[in-house]
Amino acid sequence: MTQTTPTTTRRTGRAGGRAARHAARNAPLDDVMRPVRAGLSGGTYNPLSETDIANIHETALKALEEIGLADAPQSGIDYMTAAGATLGDDGRLRFPRALVEDMLAVAATDVTLKGRDPVHDLNLSGTKVHYGTAGAAVHLVDVEGRNYRECTVQDLHDAARVTDTLDNIHFLQRPMVCRDITDNYELDINTIYACVAGTTKHVGTSFVEPDFVPGCFDLLHMIAGGEDKWRERPFLSNSNCFVVPPMKFATESCAVMEQCIEGGMPVLLLSAGQAGATAPAPIAGAIVQAVAECLAGIVYVNSIKPSHPAIFGTWPFVSDLRTGAMSGGSGEQALLTAGCAQMHRYYGLPGGAAAGIADAKLPDMQAGWEQMCSNVMAGLSGLNMVYESAGMHASLLGFCLESLILGDDLLGQAMRCVRGIEVNEETLGLETMRATCIGGPGHYLGSDQTLNLMQTEYVYPTIADRTSPKEWAEIGKPDLIKKTIARKEEILATRSAARFDPELDARIRATFNIHLPA
């Protein structure tokens, strides 16, 4: 009995501890108790010194004063010259330092992007970090066939449906182009429909031509329940490439932006130069040009409507200078994005940039290191909106639904890095150490502290495998990609919870040519 009793007691304790851990794992947590969630604050990683930031700022101001930007539409010229910009004989708008400073003073600094469901609202103040999709991929990655095929509206809707189920993908900016819709107006309409009918998270998109914007607003008003409801909760923003680097306005995109501002839609001021091609090759120089172009955008927006919600979208990309091809998965890209995030913080403006792009063609080891490197650095630098953070392959040419699902696990780990280490009396844990080491069990497996923190301190992957080699063999050596495909099929087997009610959907389909099956 003297030998049996302790053995029995130990087994009961281990079983009880295991049961408690399983119960803790399965119990739903309030949002504030989750180990990671949208809007955790970064800002601990700073590749630029204070002197570097000041020099970049000064150089950007000189570029705006001395070089300026060409090709503004007449309406933009009228807005910006009325505010204090000057139009030279060479057709370039130049921006005095005082004008830029005045516009920065009135620019919106605390922007909240709304979801159709308020639970998905994203506050972009300070260094709050949010991960999401973006891009304009023309191909969908067929993982099983190891092929690329053209994207369809169904693929876009499926991406939205998958995104809606993923905790660590906080917003959906249109990640691919519907190549099966050849009419550009119908393309814009169906892009909105496919995205918004797939998720209640915030959605971003672009518009092909200014003439298409009014019809798109009509659709948004219908979905919202009226223009007034839309203006209360604009759940869609305009991703606007308002410049064509280097230092030229994109005339039609600017006309689109003006209409979006008038219609109450938040705008992403997107400057996407490519270092060594349409932006300077040095990383610092690429940041300077992107900052200068986006500061011009701040002047433009606020000369139309002071404090209109606008995201400072410095998106300089990297070239592989051996070939001239874009290299979104490089370490240089990660540094560019982090440096841009520091400039956003310097100006106190909500900012967005690109990270998580893979040059790899499939969700393999190369994709893993490329996506993790830039996503972690973007988050640690306090970037408000991390665009293209999941699903993007082949330097933005391909989008992969399986990679989107795997990205949810990856971004959970990235966001845990963003959260950092909490140091307080409880986490230092001296009393727990004392109780464990002096007269205690000599380990922390069953301590109250361990059980209480196992869900709030640690992030557990949904798809990734953490079994031992023995357990892995016992459960049939599951393949990560096959497991992800099964999860994708499970998600897509059910109708989107974001779909519109039948009466509204019928009215939309009677008004617009919707290509997605009802």
- Nearest Cα neighbor of 313 from 288, 331, 340 is 340
Residue 6, pLDDT above cutoff 80: no
pTM of the model as a whole: 0.93
Q: How many CB atoms neighbour CB 427 within 10 A?
A: 12
Tens digits of residue pLDDT in 340-390: 999 999 999 999 999 999 999 999 999 999 999 999 999 999 999 999 999
467: left (phi over 0), alpha (psi -120 to 50) or beta: beta
Question: Do the strands 203-205 and 172-173 form a parallel or antiparallel pair, or are they unpaired?
Answer: parallel
pLDDT digits (tens, 9 = 90+) for 309-331: 999 999 999 988 888 888 899 99
Other C-beta atoms within 10 Å of 125: how many?
Answer: 14
Environment class of 10 (CB within 10 Å of its CB; exposed 0-12, middle 13-18, buried 19+): exposed
Is the pLDDT reported for residue 7 higher than 80? no
Structure tokens at 5: 């009793």
- DSSP assignment of 469-495 equals HHHHHHTT---HHHHHHHHHHHHHTS-
As a whole number, the mean pLDDT across the chain is 93
Q: What is the per-residue pLDDT across 187-217, written as a single tens digit (0 to 9) for each?
A: 999 999 999 999 999 999 999 999 999 999 9
Q: How confident is the model at residue 23 (pLDDT cuts 50, 70, 90)?
A: low
H-helix segments, 197-329? 213-224, 227-232, 251-262, 283-304
Q: Choose the CATH number for 104-419 among 1.10.3720.10, 3.30.70.330, 3.20.20.480, 3.30.530.20.
A: 3.20.20.480
In the chain, domain spans = 104-419
H-run or E-run covering 269: strand 267-271
What are 107-152's pLDDT values in tens digits? 999 999 999 999 999 999 999 999 999 999 999 999 999 999 999 9
pLDDT band at 25 (very low <50, low <70, confident <90, very high): low
